[in-house]
Amino acid sequence: MTDDRKRLYKSRSDRRLFGVLGGIAEYVGLDPSLIRIAYVFITFFTLGLPGILFYFLMAIIIPRAPKAT
């Protein structure tokens, strides 16, 4: 039996640093540039620390996408 649930993974193909934002964009079905712009604005307006901390926590928690077979 296969598990057809949608899962959040770090992107293997659309990555700048760890692939977190690319993976989120793939998960929600949006352009990765929009996710990155939103992330920059949120990080800037929260004075940086929460956004940066969130990114690195997600880089640790979210698994890497499985290799395509």
In which domain, by residue range, is 34 found? 20-61
CB atoms within 10 A of CB 10: 21
What total number of domains does the chain contain? 1
pLDDT tens for each residue of 7-66: 888 888 887 889 899 999 999 999 999 999 999 998 998 888 888 898 999 999 998 888
pLDDT exceeds cutoff 70 at 3: no
**Two tokens at 27?**
């998960």
Answer yes or no: is 6 within a domain: no
Answer yes or no: is 34 within a domain: yes
Query: What are the E-state strand segments in 1-69?
Result: none
pLDDT exceeds cutoff 70 at 69: no
Answer yes or no: is 3 within a domain: no
Answer yes or no: is 24 within a domain: yes
Q: What is the pLDDT of residue 48?
A: 80
Answer yes or no: is 15 within a domain: no
